[in-house]
Structure 1
Amino acid sequence: MPNKNCIQICLFLILTWSLISCGRSTSLIDACNSVLETDRAFSAYSQEYGMAESFYKYASSKAVMLRDNSYPIIGNEKIKTLLSSAEKTNHILTWEPQYADVSSSMDMAYTYGYYKYITPDSTYRGCYVSIWKKDINNQWKFVFDAGSSGLGKEKSE
């Protein structure tokens, strides 16, 4: 039969490990929720102020964007320029993240989800992925963004 001290030490270690694990899990869950909230705020900003302004605001200064039939667009200034020249009145881009995961260091994350691009005569749907990194102010900024138009144009009635 194990002695009482051995049992107490084992129980103490198990309890300590449980508390550390729970705290870490809670922190990671909070970080995932934080990046999801940021991605949703990014979409809401796009709907209210337009694509160019929202991508500029939420992009890292060295962000990379991949788009169909294009070389990578590098830097938030170039991303804003591209979207400003392509942006037209009454065109709205919104999205909804479906999932987020955060690194154990809690300074990098990714989200993916579905987007909707609405023009006066059509609605297009697709998927996207964004990679996020915390900046020096501890704010999430995307460092990589790519979308797929694989879901295509919605049929009109």
Structure 2
Amino acid sequence: MNGASALRQKSIDEIREADQNFSIMSEKQGMAKAFTTFAADEVIRMNDGAAPTVGFDSLRAQMSRLPNDGSVLTWQILKADAAQSGDLGYTFGQWMLTNKNDKRKPIYGVYVTVWKRQRNGQWRFVIDGGNTTPEPK
């Protein structure tokens, strides 16, 4: 494996880890904490059926309005890739929204998240979006 290939693979591994940690934080500490921890300053969040949320301050305000109703968002990566340069990549996967306070059926969907390496070396998402789908088979 040459240097560029090794850098790309290292970046893919780091992006997968960041995405997985993002989901774990969402499950354990809530969506608001997870999204504001893993978002870059220049974040854009696509919103199903609404205008996108642009910028970290707007994202923080949006997350502060989430109802505290027992909803839990988790997801699973199906694919990850990164640029040869090692500073940009994406994850794609399936998400599930459940509610620990009632017996409603879970809501399912798919997502894509674009990750960018920050000056300090950490990966933060710059674009995130998804949509609902039927329950996976």
Same fold by TM-score, threshold 0.5 exceeded?
Answer: yes
Distance in 2, Cα, partners of 1:93 & 1:87: 13
What amino acid is aligned across from residue 42 of structure 2 in structure 1?
K
* Residues 1:135 and 2:103 aligned together: no
Instruction: Name whichever structure is richer in strand by fraction.
Output: 2
* Structure 1 residues not aligned, in runs of 5+: 1-20
- 1:40 corresponding residue in structure 2: 20
Distance in 2, Cα, partners of 1:91 & 1:125: 13
Distance in 1, Cα, partners of 2:66 & 2:94: 21
Distance in 2, Cα, partners of 1:67 & 1:38: 22
- 2:68 corresponding residue in structure 1: 88
* Residues 1:69 and 2:49 aligned together: yes
TM-score (norm 2): 0.89
Larger RCO, structures 1/2 (Cα 8 Å, 6+ apart): 2
Maintained 8 Å contact 1:52/1:87: no
* Residues 1:108 and 2:97 aligned together: no
Maintained 8 Å contact 1:56/1:77: no
Q: Percent identity?
A: 29
* Greater shift in the superposed pair: 69-78 or 91-100: 69-78
Residue correspondences, number:
133
Distance in 1, Cα, partners of 2:28 & 2:60: 16
* Greater shift in the superposed pair: 81-90 or 93-102: 81-90
Quick check: which has more Rg, 1 or 2? 1
Maintained 8 Å contact 1:65/1:144: yes
Residue 76 of structure 1, CA deviation: 2.2
Instruction: Name whichever structure is richer in helix by fraction.
Output: 1
Residue 30 of structure 1, CA deviation: 1.6
Maintained 8 Å contact 2:5/2:84: no
Question: Which of 85, 105, 114 is 1:122 aligned to?
Answer: 105
